[in-house]
Amino acid sequence: MSNNTSHSIVAIVPAAGIGSRMKADKPKQYLMIGGRTVLEHTLLKLLAHPRVNKVVVAISDGDPYFSELAIATHPDIVR
């Protein structure tokens, strides 16, 4: 048996919090850093990993922000 097997990975990103301690006008995963939201930075890094083939984003029911992100329609992202 080979120890050099390659397995694909499904990453799960919990993004349902509201970030109440930050007292921001929106949940912290949607705050902007360097032109992108915190969530976009996270998703792009995961999608760039060669062994990650899907990313599941766990968001709140009725989340009004995720669908507005360009990355929301990426074929390797599942809600």
Domain boundaries, the chain: 9-78
Position 3 scores a pLDDT of 61
Q: What is the DSSP string of 21-79?
A: GGT-SS-GGGSEETTEEHHHHHHHHHHHSTTEEEEEEE--TT-SSGGGSGGGG-TTEE-
Give the pLDDT confidence of 3-13 residue by residue, as tens digits: 656 789 999 99
What pLDDT, in 10s, does the model give residues 47-79? 999 999 999 999 999 999 999 999 999 999 999
Rounded to two decimals, what is the model's pTM?
A: 0.87
